[in-house]
């Protein structure tokens, strides 16, 4: 067998092994810690409103992340956990809510009007106000 054929065979075997490893890793179930992390990243902190439960420094977010870990340990599916949070806090708890006019219209006033009001106040008083910061940003 020539050197060129041996090289091709070696490259083919290595590529096949790499493909098999990637396929096995892609189909493997995520660990419970990975599931908790992913769910806490998808859900919004009820205190901060602009940060995920995973990123928020608020005590409530730490408690909710522990609740998610308990639910995962109890065998809840990801969808059951998300449905629980939606039932408790409404669709606004999702960082990436489903597309739809009802959700957009419901969240728009809460996010935009207070900022506009603070902006208008800062123009009227001649200086910027720090009142637009959330409790988590302080």
Cβ-proximal residues to 72 (8 Å cutoff; 6+ apart), any chain: 32, 35, 36, 39, 81
CATH number belonging to domain 32-125: 1.10.8.640
How do the domains of the chain map onto residue ranges?
Answer: 1-29, 32-125
| Closest of 84, 47, 82 to residue 62, by C-alpha | 47
Asked if residue 79 lies in contact with residue 121, where contact means CB atoms within 8 angstroms, the answer is no
| pLDDT of 55 higher than 80 | yes
Average pLDDT, the chain: 76
Sign of the dihedral defined by the CA atoms of residues 37, 57, 55, 116, in that order:
positive
Size (the chain), residues? 138
> What is the tens place of the pLDDT at every residue in 84-125?
999 998 898 998 866 555 545 555 554 445 555 555 555 555
| Closest of 45, 70, 67 to residue 58, by C-alpha | 45
Report the pLDDT value the prediction gives residue 115, as an integer from 0 to 100: 54
The reported pTM is 0.55
Neighbours of 104 (CB within 10 A): 10
| pLDDT of 30 higher than 90 | no
CA distances from 128 to 49, 115, 117, 122, 136 (A): 22, 12, 12, 5, 19
């Amino acid at each position: 067998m020539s050197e060129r054929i041996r090289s091709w065979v070696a490259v083919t075997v290595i590529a096949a092994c790499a493909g098999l490893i990637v396929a096995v890793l892609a189909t493997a179930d995520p660990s419970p810690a990975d599931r908790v992390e992913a769910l806490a990243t998808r859900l919004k902190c009820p205190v901060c409103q602009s940060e995920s439960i995973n990123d928020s420094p608020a005590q409530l977010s730490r408690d909710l992340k522990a609740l998610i870990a308990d639910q995962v340990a109890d065998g809840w599916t990801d969808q059951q956990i998300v449905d629980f949070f939606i039932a408790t806090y409404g669709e606004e708890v999702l960082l990436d809510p489903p597309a739809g006019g009802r959700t957009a219209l419901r969240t728009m006033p809460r996010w935009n009007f207070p900022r506009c009001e603070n902006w208008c106040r800062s123009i009227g008083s001649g200086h910027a106000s720090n009142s637009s910061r959330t409790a988590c940003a302080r």
